Structure 1
Amino acid sequence: MFSKSQDERSPAATRGQVSVLASDLIITGVVASEGSIELHGQVDGEMAASVLTVGPDGHMKGRIQAGLVDVLGYVEGAITCSALTLRQSARLKSDVQSPRLIIESGAEVEGRFSRPAPAATAEPAPAPQTSAIPSGETAQETGEDDSLDTPAE
Structure 2
Amino acid sequence: MARQSPPSGSTFSVIGADVTIKGDVSASTELHVDGRIEGDVACDSLVQGESSVIEGAVSAETARLAGQVSGSITARQLVVLKSARIEGDVHYDALTIEQGAQVEGRFAHRLPEQAAADAGPGAAQDGEPKLTLAQ
Q: TM-score, normalised by structure 1?
A: 0.66
Deviation at 1:119, TM superposition (A): 2.4
- Alignment counterpart, residue 24 of structure 2, candidates 27, 30, 34: 30
Query: What does 1:108-147 correspond to in 2, within 5 Å?
Result: 108-119=102-113
Deviation at 1:96, TM superposition (A): 1.0
Deviation at 1:100, TM superposition (A): 1.1
**Structure 2 unmatched runs, 5+:** 1-8, 115-135
For 1:27-80, what per-residue CA distance to the aligned partner results, in whole angstroms no more than 9, with x for missing partners? Answer: 111111110101000001111111001101110010111000111111110111
Residue 119 of structure 1 aligns to a residue whose secondary structure is: helix
| 1:106 equivalent in structure 2 | 100
Residue 81 of structure 1 aligns to a residue whose secondary structure is: strand
Q: Distance in 2 between matches of 1:90 and 1:119?
A: 29
Q: Distance in 1 between matches of 2:45 and 2:96?
A: 15
After the TM superposition, which segments of 4 or more aligned residues of structure 1 sit over 2 Å from their partners?
Answer: none
How many residues of Structure 1 are paired with residues of Structure 2 in the alignment?
106
Deviation at 1:116, TM superposition (A): 1.5
| 2:11 equivalent in structure 1 | 17
Q: TM-score, normalised by structure 2?
A: 0.75
* Aligned residue type for 1:27: I
RMSD: 1.3
What fraction of aligned residue pairs are identical, expressed as a percent?
Answer: 33
Residue 56 of structure 1 aligns to a residue whose secondary structure is: coil
Q: Distance in 1 between matches of 2:10 and 2:49?
A: 18
1:78 and 2:77 matched: no
**Structure 1 unmatched runs, 5+:** 1-14, 121-153
Deviation at 1:88, TM superposition (A): 1.3
Larger Rg: 1
Higher strand share: 2
